[in-house]
Chain A
């Protein structure tokens, strides 16, 4: 039942996202365009060159961020961790802001962001290293402090760019948006996202073992150091790919793992696919709303997710907690 729902949900979001936009299309028109990939015309262009790549990008970004958040929260056993903890996003943002202000061509900026993001993840990992493994507290400290530094660089770039038209480009990028992205960007980022997803699924069993603590994970034979490096590689690839595709999309990476755990529990073998599915569905749905709500303009997806997602999440998250407390009280009585 849950498995079926988690499969159907992204499909529904994808269909909705194909139908909705600044021009509304009928389901029949979209279906016909999809069935005739080699046709020509405005409708065909909208579906194949605008809508479909957007839907695929939104699904990739949502699934990547949610997977990344689930892996990092499990690895650090800290529910407050989000995908941008490792400094990937802040470094990518700083590099892209500098590139935009310096007048580098728009086509080159995603690549610059990707490389800078991964470089930051490597730097943070090097700083967090202790012995053969990674120290959770050092990782969080290194990630947070480097992110602050990169944020300062972004601010500096914005101040410098105030006089020209670049500032709005930087801001749009920081707010998170998939406007103007298409197949080329997806083709660049998708292989890295896919690699990250495979690595994430490969560490499902180690993530499960880590739920009872690092020491016990070691007693059952887990090579914790190696597992942590794989987890860090997976999360860095996933975060960097999504940053390149959509800029800074908040909320999903932090919240979807919590929603996933509420629905399917904390077994990573189930939780990771569930998070990917919920994240993809949420991101596609939110992107559709962003395109429609102030059409023909677009709302930044990060803004929308915060406005709708946070209250919904607080309701979801705080309500079952009260029920749990009641359960434990009745058990102890």
Chain B
């Protein structure tokens, strides 16, 4: 369980998010929505321990995050980000193996059988087994995103945070990735995922957290959050409800999880 109490975040000298309270249950899929610059990425980073809180506290399964050592935090929270960087001659398997870092001390030189098993199952989860020996640089955008998710899965953490995993992806690949995240929550993983597409959030998330005006405007079921007044407040434009055209998988994957 992730618990935020009175979390206030600054970026540089500027206040970004104020007094955020939230509880995210184990096995829940929470989508994080808000306009560019609303603080989605910063909030995810704060939960991952990569951004300092000005005020408030974040606790993971009852343990204050600030008291955790970086390696212990990395055993509980994986943070998947798609920032593009050039990887010179790295194989997909090499990249995913880096997710095993928190499970090693510096003197543990060689990979253990449990490392290989974790990397294998992470590759299998994102259906990239056949790509293990491919050069990362030869992959498509969707395949790369799956590699970054596999890196997070190889960490074997109960919590998975993702920063816009569906940006730049076509609708088919995007829904494939969201369906994968949905499957992971069924196995008990907690997923918090920043998204830009409201329909994706509506289709897959148990609850939606909507950021705007420097606060958490709402954290509730998609039906309760995706209302004209709230969306207008978050995005500053008018919305009208029409029947969305969604892939079949959404209907199949649409969960019925009580919160």
Contacts A202-B106, A212-B95 given: A221-B73 contact, CB under 8 Å?
Answer: yes
Known interface pairs A218-B70, A219-B78; A209-B138 also in contact (CB < 8 Å): no
Residues of A within 8 A of B73 (CB): 221
Q: Which of A205, A215, A217, A328 contacts B106 (CB 8 A)?
A: A205
The reply to whether B71 and A219 contact each other, CB–CB distance below 8 Å, is no
Q: Judge whether B151 is part of the interface by a CB distance below 8 angstroms.
A: yes
Asked if B249 lies at the interface with its beta carbon under 8 angstroms from chain A, I say: no
Cβ–Cβ contact A205 & B101, under 8 A: yes
Residue B185, interface by CB 8 Å: no
CA distance A261 to B91 in the complex (A): 13
Docked-complex contact A267 and B102, CB < 8 angstroms? no
B100 closest partner in A (C-beta): A220
Question: Is there a chain A Cβ closer than 8 Å to B168's Cβ?
Answer: no
Given contacts A215-B81, A269-B109, A331-B138, contact A209 B98 (CB under 8 A): yes
Interchain nearest-CB distance for B58 vs A (Å) = 15
A206 and B81 CA atoms in complex are apart in Å by: 19
| CA distance in complex: A328, B88 (Å) | 13
Task: Decide: B85 and A328 in contact? CB cutoff 8 A.
Answer: no
Residues of B near A218 (CB, < 8 A) are 50, 70
Size of interface on A: residues with Cβ below 8 Å to B: 30
User: Given A205-B104, A216-B151, A221 and B89 touching (CB < 8 A)?
Assistant: no
Known: A209-B98, A261-B89. A328 touches B138 (CB 8 A): yes
Q: Is the interface of B mostly helix, strand, loop or mixed?
A: mixed
Residue of A nearest to B137 (CB): A328
- Is A223 interfacial (CB-CB < 8 Å)? yes
Q: Decide if B106 touches A219 in the complex (CB within 8 Å).
A: no
B89–A208 CB distance below 8 A: no
Complex interface: chain B residues within 8 A of A213 (CB):
83, 85
Are A212 and B101 interface neighbours, CB within 8 A?
no
Contact of A216 among B70, B72, B98 (CB under 8 A): B98
A229 to chain B, nearest CB (A): 14
A72 to B: closest C-beta gap in Å? 16
B-to-A contact residues, CB < 8 Å: 48, 50, 69-75, 78-79, 81, 83, 85, 87-90, 94-95, 98-99, 101-102, 104, 106-107, 109-110, 135, 137-138, 151, 155
Closest 3 A/B residue pairs (Cβ): A221-B74, A221-B102, A221-B71
Residues of A within 8 A of B (CB): 79, 202-206, 208-209, 211-213, 215-223, 261, 265-267, 269, 324, 327-328, 331-332
Can you report 8 residue pairs joining A to B where beta carbons are below 8 Å apart?
Answer: A208-B101, A211-B87, A212-B85, A212-B87, A213-B83, A220-B99, A223-B70, A267-B94
